[in-house]
Amino acid sequence: MTNRVTYAPHDFQKMCKQAERDHESKKLITLMERVKRQIAERENPDHSNPGLHGEAARLPVKSASGDAPMLRVVHPLGSV
């Protein structure tokens, strides 16, 4: 039998809270990048980034817990 590392409850709670903060930070960064890209596209509609047209469409959906929306990636050609 292998030895497992066990964390004290306090340490585990701190790790969970840090993971939540990291996840929220990633979501915020993604949102900020998307808004910047949308602003740039509105300011320069003729000079839109050609790489953006090949991206999959993203539709907001609710998470299983229902507390925060998640992104669902949809392939532009349907199911492949």
Give per-residue pLDDT as tens, 61-77. Answer: 555 555 555 556 555 66
pLDDT, tens digit, 9 for 90 and up, residues 13-23: 899 999 999 99
The answer to whether residue 79 sits within a structural domain is no
Residues 6+ apart with CB under 8 A from 73: 56, 57, 58
Number of domains forming the structure of the chain: 1
Residues 6+ apart with CB under 8 A from 49: 37, 40, 41
pLDDT at position 7 over 90: no
The answer to whether residue 50 sits within a structural domain is yes
Residues 6+ apart with CB under 8 A from 48: 41
Mean pLDDT, residues 34-53: 78
* Apex 46 CA angle, 41 and 47, nearest 5: 65
Domain that holds residue 35: 9-74
The answer to whether residue 21 sits within a structural domain is yes
The answer to whether residue 68 sits within a structural domain is yes
pTM over 0.75: no
The answer to whether residue 22 sits within a structural domain is yes
The answer to whether residue 3 sits within a structural domain is no
The answer to whether residue 24 sits within a structural domain is yes
